[in-house]
Structure formats: C-alpha cells, structure tokens
Structure 1
Amino acid sequence: MSLAWNPSKKNSEHERWICIYPIYLNNKRSLANGRKLAKDKCVENPTHQEIRDVLLAAGLNVGVENKLHPKERSKEPLFRGRIRVQLKNDDGTPVKSEFPTRDSLLEYVGTSISKLKTRQGKQSSSEQASQPSTSTSKKGKGKGRR
C-alpha cells in the first residue's frame, strides 16, 4: 500500500474519498486541537455514528473505519471512528450539488447533528433537570439574616 497520492486512482475509489473525524465537529476543541469549523456550527462531542447517520440521510456514499485522529488523546470508543465520504464522481463533478467542497459538507454535518432526535432528547432532559432545582431554591435566606 503506497502512501503517496496516486493520480491514476478514480474519485469513486474508497482511497480517494474525504475523511471526517468527530474531532473536526467538536465545539469543546480549539482550532489548534483539531476543530475545523466555527464553534456555532459544531456540536458537543459528536460520534462517528451521528456523522454517518446525517451523511446517509443526505444520500452520500459513506464508509466507516476504526481509526483515531492523531490529536485525540482519549482512546475510548466514543472518540474513535473515521468517516469516509465520496465527494466527487469520476469526472470530477460533485456527487451532490449542495456539497461542492469539503467545507460545505462539514458545515452541513455540523448543523444537522444538533437536529437529530437523539440530540433533541438529551437537550430536553437537561432542561427539565435544571428547572426543578431553580423552583425549589430558597430565595432571600442568607447567612446574615436572623
């Protein structure tokens, strides 16, 4: 297996597909630590399954590999996974006209993960957990009042 770029390979071959790691879309990371987008377009700790689900729903050819980004310190399965996506056809045209570049695809994935049903359930449960604590808090009772 050669590591050099081979111009004889076609865009439809798996080796020519672009790679997306979950660290690219993690708003807990800095740009120096692997994030590729602005924080407002990213989500907290995305998984490779969520990225794969969004790309499959968009109708793209997707492959999943058990790889780890070099800047990822944690070896946990949650942070593992590399997604390969076919971005261009053999003639060089985009597979989907909505995603002509890698950056446009990353922006779509980042904004779409937050709309997943699994993410919606986590947000609503965290909001419900925070509401009772604020309603039961004692107001006006401080250490200095007697």
Structure 2
Amino acid sequence: MMDGGVPNIKKWVVLYPVYINSKKTIAEGRRISVEKACENPTCVEIGDCCSHLKLPFAIEIDKAYPRDFMQVGRVRVLLKREDGSLCNPAIPSRKQLMLHVAELVPRHPGRTKKQEPASTSNAATSKSGKGGKKKR
C-alpha cells in the first residue's frame, strides 16, 4: 500500500469538467442542473476552486472523459481523510462538491474579464502572449 504521507489519490472523487458544464446535456455527462452549472469549466479553474474550498486536489491531464475523449483532463478531489473525517464540513458529497465548484468557477479570476470592460486590454495581451509562446 501507499504509505509515508503519500496520498492515495485513487480513492479520491473524480470530477470531470463535463459534470458541471452548462453547455452539455445530461446524456453528454452533465450531472447537475443547467441553472447551477457553469459554462465550459477547465480543470485549472476546478482545481483553483477546490483549493479555495480548502480541499486537496490533483489535476490529471493525461486522462480523458470516457464518453467524449476530446474532453481531456479531470480533477481528483479528496473529500474525506483516511479516518473518514471531512476535509471541508460544508462538502460531504460529490454532488455538493460539484454544486460548490460550479458556483465558484464563474467568479474565477481568469473569468472576471467578461464583467470588467476596463481589463480588456490586459486580457488581449495575455492571450496573444500565450499564442506566441506556443508557436515558437
């Protein structure tokens, strides 16, 4: 078994971005209501939300969603410790985790540019910078 402080993430809950994507249907894998879901969440955003909720998480970028393998990446989250105690008492279940994360993603720092027209120049520069690095 894994010992020595290494967390066994195989036991952690898996959260695919699809689960909380308002653009997806239930058949495509969405697991919460459209009203509560958020638009096209990314693994990084979900991870940041988990850290905000004080939950240990691990992003697995080499994994894809079985029903739609174009959806690459998933987030493993630890809800309960080895002794069975909750990491965050407000989040006892996977369902609660999905609802909390979906609520937080739209407020993610990388998302706020839609509401603030003042920071559009900043958003444009960061985008072009990203593209430039990838091409080289």
Under TM normalisation by the shorter chain, which class is it? Answer: 0.7 to 0.9
2: distance between equivalents of 1:26 and 1:99? Answer: 19
Q: What is the alpha-carbon root mean square deviation over aligned residues?
A: 2.2
Q: TM-score, normalised by structure 1?
A: 0.71
Residue 45 of structure 1: how far off its partner (Å): 0.8
Corresponding residue to 1:17 among 12, 35, 52? 12
Deviation at 1:117, TM superposition (A): 2.4
Letter in 1 for 2:41: P
Hey, what does 2:129 align to over in structure 1? none
**Corresponding residue for residue 33 of structure 1:** 28
Looking at secondary structure, tell me which structure has more strand per residue: 2
Alignment partner, residue 93 of structure 2? 101
Q: Number of residue pairs matched?
A: 114
Post-superposition offset of 1:124: 4.4
Specify every segment of 5 or more residues in structure 2 that has no aligned partner in the other structure, as ranges: 121-136
1:91 to 77, 83, 92: 83
Give how far 1:97 is off.
0.3
Q: Report percent identity of matched pairs.
A: 32
Q: Which SS does the other structure have where 2:76 is aligned? A: strand
Q: What is the TM-score when the length of structure 2 is the normalising length?
A: 0.75
Deviation at 1:101, TM superposition (A): 0.7
Unaligned ranges ≥5, structure 1: 1-7, 129-146
Q: Distance in 2 between matches of 1:91 and 1:116?
A: 32
